[in-house]
Amino acid sequence: MSRGVQLYERVPAVSDTGTTLVRQRFCRVRASQVQILNPVNTWVCMSSKFSCIKSHCFQVIFNRNHASRRNLKISCFQDSATKYFDFVVIGSGVAGLRYALEVSKRGSVAVITKAEPHESNTNYAQGGVSAVLCPSDSVENHMRDTIVAGVHLCDEETVRVVCTEGPDRIKELIAIGALFDHGEDGNLHLAREGGHSHRRIVHAADMTGREIERALLKAVDDDPNISIFEHHFAIDLLTSQDESDIYCHGVDTLNTETQQVVRFISKVTLLASGGAGHIYPTTTNPLVATGDGVAMAHRAQAVISNMEFVQFHPTALADEGLPIKPNKRRENAFLITEAVRGDGGILYNQSMQRFMPLYDEREELAPRDVVARSIDDQLKKRGKKYVLLDISHKPRQEILAHFPNIAAECLQYGLDITSMPIPVVPAAHYMCGGVQAGLHGETNIKGLYVAGEVACTGLHGANRLASNSLLEALVFARRAVRPSIDHLECLSLNIQDSNMWARPVLPLSLKSNTVRDIMLQTRVIRTELQSIMWESVGIVRSTSRLKTAEWKIGELEIEWEKFLFRQGWELTMVGLEACEMRNLFCCAKLVVNSALARRESRGLHFTEDFPYLEESKRKPTIILPSSSLKLTWSSRQLHKEPH
């Protein structure tokens, strides 16, 4: 087992009130449970009212006026590159926007987004949102389907909460202005997808995420208390430490249009930055999904969980099989929604032999991990690069009505899905692991909440059930509101000198050709990292390949960092591509370390050395901050030296 990575089972957790809480196979890390951390490289010298923390490096005075109140006062001066808000939201997908709309009723909100506000995984979600809205369905059915798909690694309390609260979250979206498809009877049209026993997928044709994003952005634009800062790349969280408690006070960002470092100070921070699909060469995720949130949280000493469970969507469009090939390689793979199989689509190999009945009695409606491994097996056995997904046996108008976006995309490359099968191949799609969260999105860092793909709530277990991701984001964005407001009200925070944290700097001292060389070499290294992850940490794994990946990634990171520093790069320097690269390295190592720790095959983690489920290993993988792990640039907070 890798150092710093542990499988946790039934562990008593102590709540803020001292009540013993027991979670089945899952220990929630609540705000009061920071004692489970093994902090990275922390040197503490403190009296009752003063702490100097080397790993965060600034001086803080805490006045305890009440057991639940803390006054943090940092005095000096302000500057124009610092902005102050009650709430900072990192990410503009469904989780971030839905949260922002609620907390804006209680204070000012900054929504920080890496590119344009609509550029998020939400916008690319085709299938829909699962919720119990049919009389013949039930919360118990939805729970059972979720737990079966998650191979019984799901946290049952989380599953119940999400499945119970889901219908109300859908109704709220409709009230905000989201337009979903309705049937001839006037009721919402409910689709079915793999792993679901009932029709419960609310959708807007095959562009559901885009419609939800549209409605939420419209509501956010109309809210005077919310400010959106686009093209702001989140660099690192601003944290402090008092005895065993870690606090989050905002985030440093890089405005990639003006090339200015902008610091956001806040009383509450929501991390909703999405996943890390681009640790792999082929992913359905947009370019912004480079694992920034998980990496930042890990550097800030947040607890990380279940990173070995990377979901590969079984059916991304295989450009090699199109009649007309695209002129250039896509930035992200085009997703062929799960709903195509849910609507009767059949998978064939290139010999037009149907193969899913050979692997699972649920056939094409088996959960995604099963379908992806089945396709992978067919490709390896036959030496092919794609299989075929056929929906052409359905009525033409029905296909065009349900899947207009897919039909239009394929048609521009000479493929009519109403009469021809679609070439498909698995692609990296969703991170089931992430920053460990409690039932209200809380983390072990006070003032830091998480929601969406960046979070590990316990809902997905070892494999996410189709269309549960948008549902989880909606439910936890809403559940994080009340504790966020409580934290805001109980924390009297007055930061007058944001420069007590060392500021990141731009590489202005470097020559333009040096910066160009660094960017070019970073792109080469990024491609090499993605290749290692695909070859050794993909759909089917083995211990030897994982150990090889661990070694190769470590050597590649050292090679890249040595190149940077030979060119004059400094630890506090920031640039978009370099910072993304450090985050990709960080997330790749977290995935590999977690995979090595799990010595069984469960859900999305399938290893040839341990091909069976082991009941004794039915517990989450927990990564604690640990001084025993080798520190590299990717694992260090930038805010290390006192100003």
What are the catalytic residues? 368
Cβ(309)–Cβ(604) below 8 Å: yes
The amino acid that residue 358 corresponds to is: L
Half-sphere exposure of 515 (CA within 13 A, CB side): 12
CB atoms within 10 A of CB 615: 7
Question: Helix H segments across 44-184?
Answer: 94-103, 139-149, 156-176
H or E stretch including 533? helix 512-536
d(CA 34, CA 301) in angstroms, rounded, equals 10
| CB neighbour list of residue 517: distance below 8 Å, 6 or more residues apart | 567
DSSP class of 480 = T
Cβ(427)–Cβ(286) below 8 Å: no
d(CA 193, CA 145) in angstroms, rounded, equals 11
Q: What is the DSSP string of 49-94?
A: SEEEETTT--EEEEEEEETTEEEEEE-S---TTEEEEEEEEE--SH
CB atoms within 10 A of CB 572: 14
Q: What separation in angstroms does the CA of 149 have from each of 127, 408, 464, 467?
A: 17, 31, 7, 12
DSSP class of 574 = -
| CB neighbour list of residue 544: distance below 8 Å, 6 or more residues apart | none
DSSP class of 51 = E
Cβ(284)–Cβ(277) below 8 Å: yes
d(CA 393, CA 618) in angstroms, rounded, equals 42
Cβ(360)–Cβ(370) below 8 Å: yes
Which pair of structure tokens corresponds to residue 160? 């119940």
Q: What is the DSSP string of 299-367?
A: HTT--EE-TT-EEEEEEEE-GGGSSS--SS--SSPPB--HHHHHTT-EEE-TT--B-GGGT-TTGGGS-
Q: Which residue in 187, 264, 323, 214 sits closest to 495, CA to CA? A: 264
Q: Quick one: angle between helices 481-490 and 468-479, nearest 10? A: 30
Please list the residues that pair with 389 across neighbouring strands.
347, 422
| CB neighbour list of residue 167: distance below 8 Å, 6 or more residues apart | 131, 132, 133
Please list the residues that pair with 89 across neighbouring strands.
111, 270
Which pair of structure tokens corresponds to residue 556? 């590649």
| Chain position carrying tokens 């009752």 | 48
| CB neighbour list of residue 588: distance below 8 Å, 6 or more residues apart | 279, 529, 532, 533, 537, 553
d(CA 568, CA 509) in angstroms, rounded, equals 9
CB atoms within 10 A of CB 152: 16
d(CA 251, CA 160) in angstroms, rounded, equals 33
